[in-house]
């Protein structure tokens, strides 16, 4: 199993450009998450999807949108990138609370720079 995969690994954008970060998991997990990691601030939740067909805002959703395409895939879109969105983005998945699985499994991350 590949676990959680993310593409791309690195990306440089100019202010105002848009892009979509892709995430997929092959563990048949119900829940998926998008985090951003900034120095000294730990991991902050952007959006999450408790199950296929549902999404909800996290701590820092402004400037982002998500799509839970199917049970495997959860994408994060930046419609108009800003320098404040320079960060490392992690996708994670878990079985979901209703299934009794709370451990979150993380992907390798996408390093995004917005100039």
44 binds other proteins (CB under 8 A): yes
Nearest Cα to Cα of residue 18 among 102, 100, 90, 85:
85
Q: How far is the CB of 29 from other proteins (least distance, A)?
A: 10
Is residue 94 at the binding interface for other proteins, with CB under 8 A as the rule? yes
Angle at the Cα of 42 (from 41 to 46), degrees rounded to 5? 95
Q: Nearest to residue 48, comparing CAs of 28, 64, 26, 27? A: 64
Dist. CA 72–CA 64, nearest whole Å: 20
Stretch that binds other proteins, among 20-28, 35-43, 60-68, 72-80 (CB under 8 A): 35-43
- Residue 34, interface with other proteins (CB under 8 A)? no
* Residue closer to other proteins, measured from CB, 77 or 102: 102
Residue with tokens 């970060």: 21
Taking a C-beta distance cutoff of 8 angstroms, is the pair 30, 99 a contact?
yes
Residues 3-32 that bind other proteins (CB under 8 A): 4, 31
Residue 41 near other proteins by CB under 8 A: yes
Contact (Cβ atoms closer than 8 angstroms) between residue 91 and residue 34: yes
With respect to other proteins, which residue has the nearer C-beta, 19 or 45?
A: 45
Residues of this chain that interact with other proteins (CB under 8 A) are: 4, 31, 33, 40-45, 48, 50, 58-59, 90, 92, 94, 96-97, 102-109
């Amino acid at each position: 199993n590949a676990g959680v995969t993310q593409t791309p690994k690195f990306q440089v954008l100019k202010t105002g450009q848009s892009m979509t970060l892709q995430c997929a998991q092959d563990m048949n997990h119900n829940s998926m998450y998008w985090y951003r990691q900034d120095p000294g601030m730990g991991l902050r939740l952007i959006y999450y999807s408790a199950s296929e067909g549902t999404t909800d805002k996290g701590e820092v959703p402004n400037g982002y949108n998500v799509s839970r395409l199917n049970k495997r895939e959860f994408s994060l879109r930046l419609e108009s990138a800003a320098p404040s969105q320079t960060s490392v983005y992690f996708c994670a998945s878990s079985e979901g609370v209703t299934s009794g699985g709370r451990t979150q499994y993380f992907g390798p991350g996408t390093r995004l720079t917005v100039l």
